[in-house]
A and B are shown apart, each in its own frame.
Chain A
Amino acid sequence: MLRFLLNRITQIIVLLVIVSVIGFFILNLIPGGPLAQYALDPGMTQADIERLKEQLGLNRPLYVQYLDWAWRLVQGDWGQSFRDGTSVLSVIGRHLFATLLLMGSSTVIAVAVGSWVGIRGATHRYSTFDHVATIAAMVALSIPTFWFGLVGIYIFSLQLGWLPAGNMYTVGDESVGDYLLHLIMPSVVLALVHIAIWSRYMRTATLDVINQDFVKTARAKGVSERRILMKHVVGNALLPMITLAGMQLPSLLTGALVTETVFTWPGMGRLFLDSISYGDYPVVMGLLMFSAILVIFGNLIADIAVAIVDPRIRLS
């Protein structure tokens, strides 16, 4: 186990260095840069801009800037936002809660509904239910999320007036009920795509298991159909799903750009978009490193979880 972790940590460090180098240099290829917004500002002289550059360290060679940034990062200093001078970590922290709330609830919906649809599709293969589920999944995957979002807003906010059209809370209210009300539409819309993906994978995984010999053995033992399904079939079918869940974990925290924009949800996705258009390099780099770490840890956690569940991996 220790060796396994050592191997993985080495891989992680190498990967993070590669991601950060590529990210940093590509970011600096974008024309304009963080000070471009001042170029047309009549109140700023060229000398002012030069002084600002000097202050922010942007006049140094690129590799010096990178090494400086990386060295600070290793020491735990993620830098300050160009926009308001607050630390990058606190900027990320502010948006993390909103994203966690949205992604968490939509994931719960997606896993629960997707698993049920997938398992039922497999046990009732080629039934009407299975066919309808297949077509619905294809439709959900083909239509872009923002369309569902806009249609949802049109029906439930504009026509029926049941749900708010955007934001995470009503200013001045901010009760739990208010949060929930705001949460319903974005989380369901976001879940639609994930239900589609998850149910397809779950169906395939269940079909793989359902005809295995050990399921027949359980039947021959006189085990009830319910227990056969829950213990023998689903237990084994979930193994490949853990890896899938690990791959989806990063998107859980880095947010959903489109959905957050449609519903003006103050999450990580929108922060990323805003920071890029603002040329806020420290925040963009911070988000990049944050999501890279999440991708890596998502996979690591999935591998460890599979090892815990599957004795063949745990014990060999």
Chain B
Amino acid sequence: MVGSVEPETPGPVALSVRDLQVALPAGMDRLHAVDDVSFDLPRGKILCIIGESGSGKSVSANAIMGLLPRALRIVSGRIVLNGEDITDLGPDRLRALRGRVVSMIFQDPLSALNPLMTVGEQIEEVMAAHDVGSPRSRAEKALSLLDEVGLPDPEVMFHQYPFRLSGGQRQRVMIAMALALEPAILIADEPTTALDVTTQAQILALIREIQQRKGMSVMFITHDFGVVAEIADEVVVMEKGRIVERGLADKVLHAPDHPYTKQLIAAVPKLRSGDRDSNEAATGGAQLLQVEGLMKTYRSARGLFQPPRIVTAVNDISFELAPGRTLGVVGESGSGKSSLGRVLIKLLDNDGGRILFEGRDIAGLSEREFKPLRTKIQMIFQDPFASLNPRATIGYSLTVGPVAHGMEQDEARRQAMALLEHVGLDPGAYDRYPHEFSGGQRQRVGIARALMFKPKLLIADEAVSALDVSIQAQILQLLEEIQRETGVAMIFITHDLRVASQICDEIAVMQKGRVVEYGAPSQIFMSPRSDYTRELVAAIPGRDAGPDAKTTTEPQAGMNR
């Protein structure tokens, strides 16, 4: 059974999908997850499938792998993999192809590896599953693969458990696993989305380098046109289960035909070279917030007889913020940017330094003393799905806080309706439940909730990170408008430098709890002073992309450490 799969002469097309139609379960917002989709993956090329959430791009990939969830089924169409029609293959035949002819890597490397098996065992498992080699030769192959994907100390790495590895290292392990049997085709489903920007650049370079060296065909799924600009030879754009545009990467990126593609490209946040127009609402003189030498350390108690482990998340941070201005806090995961936000809103206690809000030090205030001030500092959270109580109406979520702080119920209701309209929602949303809204709509609710208190300071922690780019652009616009109208000061915490450059007056770059660079966006992005900032800026995917700039599609040598 195994071995009869590869044709004598592999054709010019590695993977061909024809008229694929996958049905959604009844009661969804549309009939088909994927409708009438046809595309070819040319041999030895990288094909990017790009689309927003719900566009059907992942469903297409899972259909090819035979990994569709039970609720979804292929209605019609053909999938030809390496010359073999696999549409009607039984589960055993499909299993024999997976991992051998076609491999797949996934979005979240943190959960994609079995926590109870060593890295080496998991790589060996691919070969064992297809009865390739002896235990000894598998171990040797696994070691050479670990070396090939650029992991340090393969011998040590082989015996490590996944939890010891960083996200980037785990994604390298996933790639090593995918390459174990030298498959003709690699499907990568958003493999860099969950990674920090510098790690993303390294993984993209690695995939590009391996693809070229082995002549592999790669189907790369992404939502990020920046990534497309870095890696794609050809592009397919999907919207709501259908293909709306296809072509060579250069062509699609620089001269898109379809309005949806144009809209998507326009929505991609770009690094702005200039600074923000100074805000009219900004009142000169008095600072709203002055932070001096702020410290936050975490102690994890390890037992009666052990010294606690101490991690300094916020280390001696000072800045000032005037009304109507926005400070961007950027950094990679673990840089302490979220801890900073939480300390400022007093969700966490600080361990030193002062937080002067309207001239008064709030750092040492007790919960009761702080309560009247709490309304003036509000937060917008990252995950619009998790931050609203699913069992409470939108209206309840909006009014419960103000009523608790003494507002009349009728007045709260009136204001909530007005705010819903203001953030671009129908006031009828007041009586509805969160599950009836999309991610972008929920984030609008989250903003309305924060505004109910007429705050002086808004802290937005990755407020647009979970949203599709077109929605992202709308939410950023909304925040901008609100700031101009109300003169609220904002602290905008994000890992995305492009987004920060759009909306911020000043930017603080954080690394390991410290601010390594502070200044206007033009200075930070155009002439960064610290090495770390330079590295961050260089890693932004597709920073040269755009309708009027050149793309770089060559693999970046030296990035592959």
Taking Cβ atoms with an 8 Å cutoff, the residues of A that contact B are 3-4, 6-7, 10, 212-214, 216-225, 227, 231-232, 235-236, 239, 309-312, 315-316
- A10 and B65 CA atoms in complex are apart in Å by 54
CB distance from A12 to the nearest CB of B (A): 13
**Complex Cα–Cα for A310 and B97 (A):** 32
Complex A-B, nearest 4 residue pairs according to Cβ-Cβ distance, in ascending order: A222-B99, A311-B161, A222-B98, A213-B111
Closest Cβ–Cβ distance, residue B304 to chain A (whole Å): 5
CB-defined contacts of A222 to chain B, threshold 8 Å: 95-100, 126, 129-130
Given contacts A218-B114, A236-B114, contact A224 B98 (CB under 8 A): no
Per-residue interface assignment for chain B, residues 58 to 70, with 1 indicating a CB less than 8 Å from any chain A CB and 0 otherwise: 0000000101000
Residues of A within 8 A of B163 (CB): 311-312, 316
> Which chain B residues numbered 72 to 120 have a C-beta less than 8 Å away from chain A?
91, 95-100, 103-104, 106, 108, 111-118
Which one, B65, B115, B126, B303, contacts A7 given CB within 8 A? B303
Per the 8 Å Cβ criterion, residues 117-131 of B in contact with A are 117-118, 125-126, 129-130
Contact B99 A216, beta carbon cutoff 8 Å: no
Q: Which residue of B lies closest to A239 (CB)?
A: B116
A-B contact list, 30 entries, CB within 8 Å = A6-B304, A6-B305, A7-B304, A10-B304, A212-B111, A213-B108, A213-B112, A214-B112, A214-B113, A217-B114, A219-B98, A220-B67, A220-B106, A221-B98, A221-B125, A222-B96, A222-B98, A222-B100, A222-B126, A223-B126, A224-B95, A225-B95, A235-B114, A235-B116, A239-B116, A311-B115, A311-B116, A311-B161, A311-B163, A316-B163
- A216, B106: Cβ atoms closer than 8 Å: yes
B4 contacts A by Cβ under 8 Å: no
B9 within 8 A of A: no
The distance from the CB of A299 to the nearest CB of chain B, in whole angstroms, is: 16
Please give, as numbers and ranges, the residues of chain A lying within 8 Å of B164 by CB-CB distance.
315
B366 sits at the interface (CB 8 A): no
- A311 neighbours in B (Cβ, 8 Å): 115-116, 118, 161, 163
* B106 contact from A4, A213, A236, Cβ within 8 A: A213
Write out the residue numbers on chain A whose beta carbons fall within 8 Å of the beta carbon of B125.
218, 221, 223
Which residue of A214, A231, A315, A316 contacts B111 across the interface (Cβ within 8 Å)?
A214
Given contacts A221-B125, A222-B96, contact A214 B304 (CB under 8 A): no
List, in ascending order, chain A residues with CB within 8 A of B174's CB. Answer: 217
Q: Do B306 and A216 touch across chains, with their CB atoms under 8 A apart?
A: no
In the complex with contacts A232-B114, A311-B116, A221-B129 CB distance below 8 A: yes
Q: A222-B130, A310-B116 are in contact. List 7 more A-B contacts (CB 8 A).
A: A213-B112, A214-B112, A219-B67, A220-B67, A222-B99, A239-B116, A312-B161
User: Given A236-B114, A309-B116, do A220 and B99 touch, yes or no (CB 8 Å)?
Assistant: yes
Cβ-defined partner of B115 (8 Å) among A3, A219, A223, A312: A312
User: Which residue of the partner chain A has the closest CB to B109?
Assistant: A213
> B197-211 interface mask toward A, CB cutoff 8 Å, 1 = contact, 0 = none?
000000000000000
Residues of B within 8 A of A315 (CB): 161, 164
What residues of chain A lie closer than 8 Å to B116, measured between beta carbons? Answer: 235-236, 239, 309-311
Is B177 in contact with chain A by the CB < 8 A criterion? yes
B108 / chain A contacts, CB cutoff of 8 Å: 213
CA–CA, A54 to B210, complex, Å? 90
Residues of B near A219 (CB, < 8 A) are 67, 98
Q: Chain B 171-187 against A: per-residue CB contact (8 Å), 1 yes, 0 no?
A: 00010010000000000
CA distance A312 to B117 in the complex (A): 11
> B104: which A residues are within 8 A, CB to CB?
220
Give the shortest distance, in Å, between A280 (CB) and chain B (any CB). 38
Q: A312 to B104, alpha carbons, bound, how many Å?
A: 26
- Closest Cβ neighbor of B69 among chain A residues: A211
* Shortest Cβ distance from residue A130 to the other chain B in the assembled complex, whole angstroms: 14
In angstroms, how far is the closest chain A Cβ from the Cβ of B92?
A: 9
Inter-subunit contact A220/B65 (CB<8 Å): yes
Nearest A-chain residue to B187, judged by Cβ: A220
Q: Which residues of B contact A232 (CB under 8 A)?
A: 114
Please tell me if the beta carbons of A217 and B129 are within 8 angstroms of each other in the complex: no
In the complex, residue of chain A having the shortest beta-carbon distance to the beta carbon of B70: A125
- Chain B residues with CB under 8 Å of A312's CB are 115, 161, 163
User: Which A residue sits closest to B101, measured CB to CB?
Assistant: A222
The complex places the Cα of A87 from the Cα of B37 at a distance, in Å, of 82
Distance between A207 CB and nearest chain B CB, rounded to angstroms: 14
Contacts A311-B116, A311-B161; is A223 near B129 (CB within 8 Å)?
Answer: yes
State whether A3 touches B96 (Cβ < 8 A). Answer: no
A-contact 0/1 string along B150-165, CB 8 Å cutoff: 0000000000010110
Tell me the complex Cα distance, A73–B552, Å.
79
Within 8 Å CB of B303, what residues of A?
A: 3-4, 7
A62 and B106 alpha carbons, distance in the complex (Å): 68
A217 and B305 within 8 A (CB): no
List the B side residues contacting A4 at CB < 8 Å: 303
Given A222-B97, A311-B161, does the pair A214, B114 have CB atoms closer than 8 Å? yes
- B298-338 contacts to A, CB under 8 A, are 302-306
Whether the pair A227, B129 counts as a contact (CB closer than 8 A) is yes
Which residues of chain B from 122 to 144 have a CB within 8 Å of any chain A CB? Answer: 125-126, 129-130
User: When chains A and B are docked, how far (Å) is the Cα of A46 from the Cα of B161?
Assistant: 73
- Residues from chain B with a CB closer than 8 A to the CB of A316 are 163
Q: Could you tell me the distance between the alpha carbons of A227 and B121 in the complex, rounded to whole angstroms?
A: 14
In whole angstroms, how far apart are the Cα atoms of A132 and B112 in the complex? 33
Residue of A nearest to B114 (CB): A214
**A225 vs B98: C-alpha distance when bound (angstroms):** 13
| Complex Cα gap A218–B306 (Å) | 39
Give the Cβ gap from A6 to chain B, nearest Cβ, in Å.
Answer: 6
Report the minimum CB–CB distance from A209 to chain B (whole Å).
Answer: 10
Residue of A whose beta carbon sits closest to that of B126: A221
CB-CB under 8 A from B97, the residues of chain A are 222
Quick one: closest A residue to B127, CB to CB? A221
Q: Are B67 and A3 in contact (CB under 8 A)?
A: no
Interface centre among A7, A225, A231, A311 (most CB of B within 10 A): A311
The CA-CA distance from A224 to B129 in the complex, in Å, is 7
Tell me, in angstroms, the Cα distance from A207 to B115 when the chains sit together: 17
Q: How far, in angstroms, from A216 to B174 measured CA to CA in the complex?
A: 12
- Expressed in whole angstroms, the minimum distance between the Cβ of A23 and any Cβ of chain B is 26
In the docked arrangement, what's the CA distance between A214 and B116, Å?
11
Residues of B within 8 A of A6 (CB): 304-305
A216 to B177, CA, bound (A): 13
CA distance A107 to B243 in the complex (A): 58
CA separation between A224 and B128, bound complex, in Å?
10
Q: How far is the CA of A212 from the CA of B98 in the complex (A)?
A: 19
Name A211's closest neighbour in chain B (CB-CB).
Answer: B69
Min CB distance A39 to B, Å, is: 50
- Chain A residues lying within 8 Å of B302, measured Cβ to Cβ, are 3
Q: Are A221 and B304 in contact (CB under 8 A)?
A: no
A136 to chain B, nearest CB (A): 25
**For residue A310, which residue of chain B has the nearest CB?**
B116
Chain A residues closer than 8 Å to B304, beta-carbon distance: 6-7, 10
Whole-angstrom CA separation of A79 from B126 in the bound complex? 62
Complex-state Cα separation, A235 to B115, whole angstroms = 10
Shortest distance from the beta carbon of A241 to any chain B beta carbon, whole Å:
14
- Of residues B97, B116, B130, B177, which shows the largest number of chain A Cβ atoms within 10 Å of its Cβ? B116
